[in-house]
């Protein structure tokens, strides 16, 4: 097999393992997709990967329902650095204004990868994961139900994850309101940071990231 293709397959496997192991609650295996300094950004959480794993585990045990489905990937590799973009959907179920709903958000995972030696073996793992939120929708689980949403609250959130943010806010989460969407300066800055990462910049961030207080 061509070496470049082998590296792409290894990276794609990590992306797939992230979704499978996280959603299934395989926490020890889930920890192996991250480098020690890995960082996760989401609408409801921004912080170190170990804390994300711990909070996800607690939520899983309490019945929080957030699932992921993956589509195609494109991977750019330069030396021991890579950027992987993967089409995905986030599906969260919960109570919004007295109605049980499903929110489906379509977007991409934008992952900063690095090949590092771990216990004598070189492994591709995630250094930073940043979702890009493209569009979403909300549906009642019971088709006969009609959620009565607060229009003023709904209008406060970005269009790319408007309904996801609404549900998460109703569930008690503090939602970040400047996440990357399909277009705009935030996602363009992310692309530029990705290029700098591939070129060998020491950090996957323009500025030191701020951890969300959970």
Q: In the prediction, which pLDDT does 214 show? A: 57
Q: Which of 132, 38, 59 is nearest to 89 (CA)?
A: 132
Note the pLDDT of residue 113.
Answer: 98
Long-range contacts of 18-23 (CB under 8 A, 24+ apart): 18/109, 18/126, 18/129, 19/68, 19/69, 19/70, 19/88, 22/56, 22/68, 23/66, 23/67, 23/68
Query: What pLDDT digit, counting tens, does each position of 172-202 carry?
Result: 999 999 999 999 999 999 999 999 999 999 9
Regions in the chain scoring below 70 on pLDDT: 213-214
Domain boundary assignment for the chain: 3-198
The CATH class for the domain spanning 3-198 reads alpha beta
Instruction: Report the chain's mean pLDDT, rounded to a whole number.
Output: 96
The model's pTM: 0.96
Predicted pLDDT at 203: 96
- Distance, in Å, from the CA atom of 85 to the CA atom of 123, rounded to the nearest integer, reads 19
User: In the prediction, which pLDDT does 163 show?
Assistant: 98
Sequence-separated (6 or more) residues with CB below 8 Å from residue 130: 41, 109, 110, 111, 112, 180, 190
What's residue 212's pLDDT? 85
Closest CA to 157 of 149, 148, 166: 166
């Amino acid at each position: 097999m061509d070496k470049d293709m082998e590296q792409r397959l290894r990276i794609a496997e990590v992306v797939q393992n992230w979704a499978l192991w996280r959603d299934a609650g395989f926490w020890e295996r889930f920890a192996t997709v991250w480098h020690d300094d890995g960082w996760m950004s989401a609408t409801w959480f921004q912080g170190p990967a170990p804390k994300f794993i711990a909070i996800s585990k607690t939520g899983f045990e309490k019945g929080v329902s957030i699932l992921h489905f993956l589509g195609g990937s494109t991977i750019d590799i330069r030396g021991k650095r890579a950027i992987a973009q993967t089409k995905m959907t986030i599906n969260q179920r919960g109570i919004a204004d007295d109605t049980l709903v499903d929110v489906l958000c379509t977007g991409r995972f934008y992952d900063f990868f690095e090949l590092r030696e771990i216990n004598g073996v070189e492994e591709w793992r995630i250094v930073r994961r940043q979702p890009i939120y493209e569009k979403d929708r909300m549906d009642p689980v019971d088709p006969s139900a009609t959620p009565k949403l607060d229009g003023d609250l709904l209008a406060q959130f970005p269009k790319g994850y408007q309904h996801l943010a609404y549900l998460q806010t109703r569930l008690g989460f503090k939602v970040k309101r400047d996440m990357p969407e399909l277009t705009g300066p935030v996602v363009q800055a992310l692309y530029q940071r990705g290029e700098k990462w591939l070129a060998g910049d020491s950090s996957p961030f323009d500025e030191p990231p701020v951890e969300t207080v959970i």
